[in-house]
C-alpha cells in the first residue's frame, strides 16, 4: 500500500510531441476522408470549401511537426495535401468568381450561363481526380507512416508544450517578417500581401492545434488573425477571380462582356487591397 501511495504522488510525465501527433492528425484525416467522399453526393460550394480547408489544416499540421520528421518524407506528404486541395479548389475558384459577379449588374449576367457550365466541367474533373487519387488510402498511409516515424524516435522525446511554443514562435516570426515586407511593398506587388495571408493562416491553425496546451492565452492574437485572414481572403478572392476570368476569356463570352467584368473586378481589388493594407499598421 505504501508503494502505491508513493507512486500516486509522483508527478505525471508531460506528454511528448511525438506521442501527441496521432491525436491531432487522426481526427483531421478522418474528416478529410469523409468530406472527400461527400462531394460525390454534394457538389455544393460549401462542401468543396470544407474539403479544401480540411486538407490545408493537414498540411499545416505536417509543417508544424516538420522538425521531428525526415525532411524528404515530410515534403512528400505535404505535396500530397496540396495536390488534393488544389483539385478541390479549382471548382471552388469558379464558385467565388460567380458569387462576385452576381454582385455586378448588367453585363455580368450575360456571362453566367458559360460560367456555370465551366464550373460543372471543372467539378467533374475535380471529382474524377479525387476518386482516382484514392484519398482514403493516401491519407491513411500518410498517417501511418508519419506516426510510425515519430514513435520510433522515443529516445529523443520533446515535451509537447515546449515543442508547441517553439513552433508557434517560429510561425509568429515568419508572419512579422512578411508583414514588414508587405508594408514596404508596392500595391502592385500582390505576392507580398499573399505571403502575409498564408503566414497568418498557418499561425491561426497552429493556435487551433496547440492552444489548449499553452500556458498563455492568445485570444487577442487569434482575434487579430481572424480579422487579417478575412480581409486578406477577400483580396485573394478578387485577385484569383481576375486571373481565372482572364485565363478563360476566349471560351466564355464576347470581349465587351469580359472587359466590363474585368474592369469591375479591378476596382473591387483596389478597394480590398486598401482595406487589407490598413491592417498592416
Q: Under CATH, what is the fold of the domain 15-158?
A: 1.20.120
pTM of the model: 0.84
Point out the least confidently predicted range of 68-77, 155-164, 211-220: 211-220
For residue 252, give the nearest of 39, 270, 244, 91 by alpha carbon: 244
Model confidence pLDDT, tens digit, residues 203-228: 999 998 998 888 777 788 888 899 99
Q: What are phi and psi of 16, to 5 degrees?
A: -85, 155
Instruction: Tell me the pLDDT band of 6, cut-offs 50, 70 and 90.
Output: very low
Q: Which residues contact 177 (CB under 8 A, 6 or more apart)?
A: none
What mean pLDDT is predicted for residues 188-202? Answer: 91
More confident residue, 46 or 258: 258
Quickly tell me which residue has 471560351 as its cell: 251
Q: Which residues contact 60 (CB under 8 A, 6 or more apart)?
A: 201, 202, 205, 206, 209
Domain map of the chain by residue range?
15-158, 160-281
Runs of H (alpha helix) within the chain: 2-9, 17-38, 45-64, 71-101, 107-133, 135-151, 160-183, 190-210, 219-247, 249-252, 255-278
Task: Kindly state the cell numbers that stand for 94.
Answer: 469558379
Task: Kindly state the cell numbers that stand for 214.
Answer: 499553452
What local confidence, expressed as pLDDT, does residue 107 receive? 66
Amino acid at each position: 500500500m505504501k508503494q502505491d501511495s508513493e507512486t500516486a504522488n509522483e508527478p505525471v510525465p508531460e506528454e511528448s510531441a511525438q506521442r501527441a501527433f496521432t491525436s491531432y492528425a487522426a481526427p483531421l484525416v478522418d474528416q478529410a476522408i469523409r468530406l472527400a467522399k461527400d462531394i460525390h453526393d454534394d457538389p455544393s460550394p460549401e462542401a468543396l470549401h470544407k474539403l479544401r480547408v480540411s486538407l490545408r489544416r493537414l498540411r499545416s499540421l505536417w509543417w508544424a511537426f516538420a522538425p521531428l520528421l525526415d525532411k524528404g518524407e515530410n515534403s512528400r506528404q505535404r505535396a500530397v495535401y496540396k495536390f488534393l486541395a488544389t483539385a478541390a479548389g479549382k471548382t471552388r475558384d469558379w464558385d467565388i468568381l460567380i458569387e462576385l459577379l452576381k454582385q455586378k449588374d448588367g453585363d455580368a449576367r450575360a456571362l453566367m450561363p458559360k460560367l456555370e457550365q465551366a464550373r460543372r466541367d471543372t467539378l467533374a474533373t475535380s471529382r474524377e481526380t479525387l476518386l482516382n487519387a484514392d484519398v482514403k488510402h493516401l491519407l491513411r498511409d500518410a498517417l501511418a507512416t508519419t506516426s510510425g516515424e515519430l514513435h520510433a524516435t522515443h529516445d529523443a522525446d520533446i515535451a509537447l508544450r515546449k515543442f508547441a511554443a517553439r513552433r508557434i514562435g517560429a510561425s509568429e516570426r515568419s508572419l512579422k517578417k512578411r508583414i514588414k515586407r508587405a508594408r514596404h511593398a508596392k500595391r502592385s506587388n500582390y505576392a507580398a500581401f499573399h505571403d502575409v495571408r498564408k503566414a497568418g493562416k498557418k499561425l491561426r491553425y497552429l493556435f487551433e492545434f496547440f492552444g489548449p496546451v499553452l500556458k498563455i492565452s492568445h485570444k487577442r492574437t487569434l482575434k487579430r488573425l481572424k480579422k487579417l485572414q478575412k480581409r486578406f481572403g477577400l483580396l485573394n478572392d478578387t485577385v484569383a477571380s481576375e486571373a481565372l476570368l482572364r485565363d478563360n476569356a476566349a471560351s466564355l463570352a464576347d470581349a465587351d462582356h469580359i472587359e466590363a467584368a474585368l474592369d469591375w473586378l479591378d476596382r473591387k481589388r483596389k478597394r480590398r487591397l486598401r482595406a487589407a493594407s490598413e491592417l498592416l499598421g
